[in-house]
Structure 1
Amino acid sequence: MKVRRPLIASLAAISCVPVLLIPGASVAHQAAVAAEGPECSAVSPDDDVERPVTGENTAMEALQVPQAWAQADKTGKRPGAGVTVVVVDSGISGLRDRGPAPVKSAHGLIVGGIIAGPNQPKPAVPVGIAPGADLVDEPFYNVPRGEEQDGLLLPMSDALEQHLRGVTARRRSGALKGPTIVLIPMEVLHTDSLEKAVAALVASGVLVIAAAGDRPADDSFLTSYANDKASPGEDAVADVWPAGGDGVVSVGVSTPTDGVLRNSGIDLAAPGTGSVSKALNGAWCVVTTISSHWAAAQVAGVAAVVWSVHRGDTAKQLEERLEGTASGNGEGASPLTGYGVVQPVEAILRDVNGMGAEGHEADVVQRAREPRERADLLAEARDNAVWWGLGGGGALVILVVLRPVLSRRRTTGGSELRR
C-alpha cells in the first residue's frame, strides 16, 4: 500500500527534480529552442540531404549532458571513451558516413546516432551523448519492424537469442573486453531459451539495457496491449523481453504519453524524444516521436559517459550508481519511470560507495511492484478538507439542534432572576 506524503513535502520534492532546468544556466538558455528538421523515422534513403537541423538537442539539455561532459573533461576523459556499446538492433552501418546508409531499417541507425553519432557541423548541433564510446554493430533483423519475413513478423525472439549468445561468447573469450554495455532498444516475446540467454549475458559482466516496451500496432507484437490507452492494472513486465530479465536495466520514458506500456519492472527513464540523430539518407534528423526505444538509447549514452569517468565500477556498481542518483518523482517508484530519470552529473559526482542493495533501498524510493495510478498531489489536501468539512458540518448541526435548548435555558434563567 502506498503511503502518502504531506502535500508540501511532495511539491517540494517535485520542485527539486533537475530534469529540465540546468544549474548555473541563464533563463534564456534553459528555454532551449527545440531542434527542427526531418523526422528521423520518416526519412527515406533518397530524400534531400541539404535540409540541416536547426535549434538544440533538447534531450541532451534535459539530461544535463553538456554539464556531464564538463565533469568528464575535468578528469581528462573524453565522454564515453574506453566504453564499448554493443547495439543489438537493425544495424548501424553508415552512421558516420555522409551518403545513404546501407541498411533497410532506420531504427538501429537512429539509436546509434543518439549514443555516439557525429555532430552536425553547419549549423553546429551536438548529436551523440557519448561521442567517445566505441559502437559495435550486432544486427539481428534487417527490415523495418513489424514487416514479414518467411511469413513471420520481425524481429523474432529466437534471432535475438542467437545474437545475445554470440555476444556472451565473445565476452567470455576475451574478444569483447573492458566496460561493455549491451543495448537492446526493442521488445520481443518471452521464451524460456531467450530468458536463459539473457541471464548468461548478464552473468558475463556486461551492463544490459533494454526498452520497457511501446504500445504496439494491431498487426505488430504484443497484440493484447494494442489499445489507445493503458488498461486498468496493465503490467507488461512478464511479457516484454529482454527488459523483463533479471539484472537487465529496463528503461521507460519520462515524457507523458499513452504510447508506452505500463511496466512495474522499469528501472530508469529518459525523455524518449528530442534527440538529434542520423537518417537513412546520411543527413541529420530529429527524433520527434516518444518511445522507450529512444529512451533506452539515451540511457545507454548516459551510462557510457558515467562509466568512462568511473572506470573502476563493475556493471552492477554502475547500475546502482545510475539508479541511486536518478531524479525520482517524490511519490515512490512509478511503473513508467522506475527509480527516476537518469542524472549523469549526479552519477559522476556523488559518492555512492557502499550503496549496494541495502544502501540503495535506504536512499532511493523502491521500485513499483505493481502498476498504480498517477500520483495525485492534491489527494491529501482534499482528504483533509473533507474531514474538516465533516467536522465543521457536524459541529454546525449540533449547534442548530442545541440552540433552542440553550435559548430556553437563558430565558428560564432570566425569569428566575426577575423573581
Structure 2
Amino acid sequence: MHLRSVLAGATAFALVGLTGAPAQAVTVTCAESSPDGGGEAGISSAPFDQLGLERAQQQVDDFAPPAGEPVRVAVLDSGVGAANADSIPVRKTVSYMPPDADVSYFLGTEVAGLIAGADDGSRHVGFAPGTEIVDVRTYVDPTADDKELRPTSGTTARALRWVAQNARDLNIKVATIAFPVSNGPGLRAAVEEAQAKDVVVVAATGDRVAPTDGTEPTAEELRADDAATDSYPAAFPHVVAVNSTGDGYPDDPMSIVRANSRTTVAAPTYHGVSYGLSGSSCAVDPISTGAAAAEVSGVVALLWQMYRHDSAKQIIARLVNTANGTTDDPTPLTGAGVVQPYEALTRPLDPGAKGDVERTVTQADVHPEATAPVPAPDVLAETRDDAVWWGLIGGGLLVVALLLRPVLARRRS
C-alpha cells in the first residue's frame, strides 16, 4: 500500500449558491478514516461503474442463486475495524498479532469492504455481495516502530498455512494479500499449500514508496524498475498478481504504482468506495494496488459463486482469458489486461483441469470459392493429334492431284 496515503487529508467539495449558503458533500479517503468518525464518501464508486459490476452481480443473482455455504475470502491484512460489524460480513477473525493490538491501520478494512461491503444507501460498495470475510490479521501498522507489528513474510506464511488448513471447513476460496512482503523462508511453500487446497491467492503487485529524501525517480529509473524482485507473494507462480490502472487519477499513475513483470491482470481503483475505521463509507485516493487486489478478489468470488464446481485454476483461466488485453503479450502494468467481470461470468469458455483454454485459430480459405472441375487426362490426345495432321496432309495431296489432272491430260493428248 502506498504510504503517502496515510498522510493524505480529507478532501472537501463545496457548492455555493447565489445566497452564499454552502451545500457540502465531504469525501473522506479511507486512509484518513479513524475510529473517531467524521465524514463519508460523498461520491459513487467509479471502478464499480467502469467495470460494469451491477450487470455482473445481476448475472450471478439470476443464474447462481445462493446454495450451501457462502463463498468466503480470507483477507490477510491489518484487520477489519470493529465499527463495521453491520457493513462488512466477517465470518471469523484470527490474529497473529499481540492480543492487546487494536485495529489501527485502514487497509484491512478498506480491502474487506471493497470485496464484500454492503451498499451504503445509494452507493455501491462491495464487488461480491453474499460473500463473507475471514479476517486474518497479519500486522498492525506498516509504519510502526516495533518491527513485530509490521507486515513480514513469516507472519504471512503462518497465516497462509492456517488458511490452507481451514479452507475446506470454512469454504475459503480466495486469499487476498494487499500488502506485499519480502520473500522469506517458507512463504512460497505456504502459498503452494493454500493453492493445493483450491484457494485462489490474489496479491498486490506493490505500490511505490515515497523516497525519504524527497527526490523523485527519473524516467530511466521508472523504466528499469520491476516490482517482481521485491513484492511477494505476487511474484510466485499461479498467484493472481494485480496492478492498478490510473483511470480517472489526475496525476501520473507511475508516481504511485510500479511496473511488475509478473502482473496477471489490472483494475481501476481511483475513487472506489469502501468502508473506513469509523464505520462510514470512504474513498480510495490515491490509486492503490492493494485496492486493486481487493476488487479482483471480489470478481473471483463472483466467479466462484457462478462456477462452484470449477477448480481454482479454471476460475483463474476465466478471469485472465476474458481480460481486455491478451495472454500472449502481457505487459508489466496490466498483465493480460483490465478484468471484465461480466465477460468472465458469461463467455462460454471451457477451461481444462490445468486451466488451459483452447484457442480459436483463424485459417485461410476454410471455405474456398467453388471452381470448375479439372478434366480427366485424355490418353488418346496425342494419337488423335497425329491422325488429324496425316489427314490434313493426305487431303492436301488429293487437292493438288485434282488440280494437276487436266494439265497432265492435255500433255498426253
Q: Give the structure-1-normalised TM-score.
A: 0.69
Cα distance in 2, alignment partners of residues 76 and 356 from structure 1: 22
Find the counterpart in structure 1 of residue 203 from structure 2. Answer: 210
Q: How does 1:358-369 map to 2 (within 5 A)?
A: 360=357, 362=359
Cα distance in 2, alignment partners of residues 358 and 46 from structure 1: 47
Structure 2: state its 5+ residue gaps. 1-24, 89-100, 248-252, 362-413
Deviations 1:324-381 (A, max 9, x none): 10111799321010011111111111111046779548469xxxxxxxxxxxxxxxxx
1:333 to 2:327 alignment: no
1:136 to 2:134 alignment: yes
Matched-pair contact (CA < 8 Å) for 1:187–1:243: yes
Q: Among 163, 170, 179, which residue is 1:176 paired with?
A: 170
Please say which structure displays the higher CA radius of gyration. 2
SS at 1:322's partner residue? helix
Cα distance in 1, alignment partners of residues 262 and 222 from structure 2: 17
Find the counterpart in structure 2 of residue 247 from structure 1. Answer: 238
1:299 to 2:288 alignment: no
CA distance 1:290–1:81, shift in 2 (3 Å): farther
* C-alpha displacement of 1:79: 12
1:265 to 2:265 alignment: no
SS at 2:170's partner residue? coil
Matched-pair contact (CA < 8 Å) for 2:260–2:333: yes
Q: How does 1:34-73 map to 2 (within 5 A)?
A: 37-48=27-38, 51-73=39-61
SS at 2:282's partner residue? strand
Cα distance in 2, alignment partners of residues 268 and 119 from structure 1: 26
Cα distance in 1, alignment partners of residues 299 and 238 from structure 2: 18
1:197 to 2:195 alignment: no
Q: Among 339, 350, 353, which residue is 2:350 paired with?
A: 353
Matched-pair contact (CA < 8 Å) for 2:87–2:118: no
* C-alpha displacement of 1:227: 3.6
SS at 2:27's partner residue? coil
1:92 to 2:86 alignment: no
Find the counterpart in structure 1 of residue 107 from structure 2. Answer: 107
Matched-pair contact (CA < 8 Å) for 2:81–2:276: no
* C-alpha displacement of 1:323: 0.3
SS at 2:286's partner residue? coil
Find the counterpart in structure 2 of residue 308 from structure 1. Answer: 305
Specify the code of the residue in structure 2 equivalent to 1:126: H
Matched-pair contact (CA < 8 Å) for 2:79–2:108: yes
CA distance 1:280–1:149, shift in 2 (3 Å): same
Cα distance in 2, alignment partners of residues 207 and 358 from structure 1: 12
CA distance 1:357–1:320, shift in 2 (3 Å): same
Find the counterpart in structure 1 of residue 383 from structure 2. Answer: none
* C-alpha displacement of 1:192: 3.3
Cα distance in 2, alignment partners of residues 43 and 212 from structure 1: 24
CA distance 1:330–1:246, shift in 2 (3 Å): closer
Matched-pair contact (CA < 8 Å) for 1:60–1:129: yes
Aligned residues: 316
Matched-pair contact (CA < 8 Å) for 2:313–2:354: no
Matched-pair contact (CA < 8 Å) for 1:273–1:294: no
CA distance 1:330–1:300, shift in 2 (3 Å): closer
Find the counterpart in structure 2 of residue 116 from structure 1. Answer: 116
SS at 1:148's partner residue? coil
Matched-pair contact (CA < 8 Å) for 1:79–1:132: no
Cα distance in 1, alignment partners of residues 338 and 129 from structure 2: 21
Structure 1: state its 5+ residue gaps. 1-34, 365-419
SS at 1:192's partner residue? coil
Moved more, 244-253 or 323-332: 323-332
What do you get for the CA RMSD once the two structures are aligned? 3.1
Specify the code of the residue in structure 2 equivalent to 1:333: P
Find the counterpart in structure 2 of residue 322 from structure 1. Answer: 319
Cα distance in 1, alignment partners of residues 264 and 74 from structure 2: 20
Alignment identity in percent?
Answer: 34
Matched-pair contact (CA < 8 Å) for 2:227–2:261: yes
Cα distance in 2, alignment partners of residues 98 and 320 from structure 1: 31
CA distance 1:334–1:128, shift in 2 (3 Å): same
Cα distance in 1, alignment partners of residues 138 and 355 from structure 2: 38
Cα distance in 2, alignment partners of residues 83 and 295 from structure 1: 20
* C-alpha displacement of 1:134: 1.2
1:154 to 2:150 alignment: yes
Specify the code of the residue in structure 2 equivalent to 1:134: E
Cα distance in 2, alignment partners of residues 280 and 359 from structure 1: 41
SS at 1:202's partner residue? helix
* C-alpha displacement of 1:236: 2.2
* C-alpha displacement of 1:87: 0.3
* C-alpha displacement of 1:158: 1.2
Cα distance in 1, alignment partners of residues 268 and 87 from structure 2: 27
* C-alpha displacement of 1:193: 1.7
Find the counterpart in structure 2 of residue 236 from structure 1. Answer: 227
SS at 1:138's partner residue? strand
Deviations 1:224-279 (A, max 9, x none): x9847653332222321011111211001122611111111110110122211111
Cα distance in 1, alignment partners of residues 225 and 245 from structure 2: 18
Cα distance in 2, alignment partners of residues 137 and 340 from structure 1: 29
* C-alpha displacement of 1:53: 3.1
Higher strand share: 2
Cα distance in 1, alignment partners of residues 159 and 356 from structure 2: 35
